[in-house]
Amino acid sequence: MSIYTSPALAAPHRFFTRNGGVSTGAYESLNCSFTSDDPNNVRENRARVARELGVDRDKLLGCKQVHGIEVAVVREPWPEGAGPAADALVSNVPGLGLGVITADCAPVLFYADGIAGAAHAGWRGAVAGVLEATIAAMRTLGAAQIHAVIGPCIQQASYEVGADMRDAVLAAGNLGARFFTPGRAGHWWFDLPGYCLARLEAAGTQAESLGLDTCALEQEFFSHRRRTLRGETALGHQISVIRT
């Protein structure tokens, strides 16, 4: 099983890759999304993730990610598939695994004072404020000095976008302009992790990015952009988890 971690987070956590599971074909092998693939394979993959984190399988939690800013405060585990529509989880209940699945969007893990958080930040969620909403929810639980780490996601060299997306980012404030460089006519290269990092730091966290490109590193990560460029249909997702 291939994983990444950061010394910046003083809690057990893992940024998992696509390797180390039982799924086959386009989902090979540690696909952790129930939206596709054989559900029995996904259950086994998530069981392996839970064991790696040292949590019970039924305490590895996720939400129905919708590219928004809702944050679920977790007070007790929920049954498989019963997670809320949200894009971040926070909790101070010991023994839980808070997870988000991604395939180019930024997985961001947070920790402070026994309080953990996990957020799914695509460009829409980042622009809307999902990272700041996660920080606010953690502070409501008593977190003070929050540390955040941005895991594997699409990097600027792989992320060419159109004018509509650039305009939406720029409309959110002056912060966004420096994260675009010119591409083809009417297109720009967007630095998603750099943008997330700047918003995290502006919100008062100590933050870092692992700098791993999900689109470029095919042997390690699933990628929505790579799938789209090739005209493929199936798409797996890797998972990032932090334990409370």
Give pLDDT, residue 36: 82
* Residues lower than pLDDT 70 in the chain: 174
Does residue 227 sit in helix, strand or coil? Answer: helix
Going from N- to C-terminal start, the domains of the chain cover: 3-153+204-243
pTM above 0.85, yes or no: yes
The residues, ordered by sequence, that sit 6+ positions from 220 with a Cβ below 8 Å of its Cβ are: 2, 17, 18, 19, 152, 212, 214
pLDDT 10s digits, 227-236? 999 999 999 9
Give the integer Cα–Cα distance in Å for 219 and 204: 35
The residues, ordered by sequence, that sit 6+ positions from 173 with a Cβ below 8 Å of its Cβ are: none
Give pLDDT, residue 32: 98
* CA dihedral over 98, 100, 101, 106, signed as positive or negative: negative
Its CATH architecture, for the domain 3-153+204-243, is 4-Layer Sandwich (3.60)
